[in-house]
Amino acid sequence: MPMYFDSWSGFLAMAGHGIYVWSAYAVASVVIAYNLAVPLMARRRIFAQIAAQVRREERLVKRGVDVNQVTAGSGDDTGRHSANSGSTQQKHCAERQAEQQAEQQKENLESVKGSAQ
């Protein structure tokens, strides 16, 4: 079977239509490469998220937190937030109580100073 074109340069030029043909091949190649790369990157990202969740649950188990109660959320990072919310609330409550006691002591000191004068 003889070749339609006389030379490789004639094949690349394609009788003046080479720019359109080869640009179409280039665009198609880019689209195919994109369609192959995106699922692979998504797979890598999903595996990284699963590994992070496993590490998070291991840390919670070490702390003695019920993992089932924490991770029964919508699948995002709300579990981590819920696990820390109890201790954070206790911390803020203790800080508020300390501030209130300090204010009360100041008021008591001022009232004692006022009655002494």
Spatial separation of the C-alpha atoms in residues 115 and 75, rounded to whole Å:
61
In this prediction, residue 51 carries a pLDDT of: 95
pLDDT at residue 74, as a whole number: 47
Give the Cα separation of 73 and 64 in Å (integer). Answer: 19
**What predicted TM-score, i.e. pTM, was given to this entire model?**
0.45
Residue 71: CB atoms within 10 A of its CB come to 17
Q: What is the pLDDT of residue 66?
A: 74
Helices vs strands, H then E, count in the chain: 4, 0
Q: Give the pLDDT means over successive 10-residue stretches in the chain (117 positions).
A: 79 90 97 97 96 91 76 52 61 78 80 68
Distance CA 52, CA 70 (A): 15
pLDDT at 1: 55
pLDDT at 69: 67
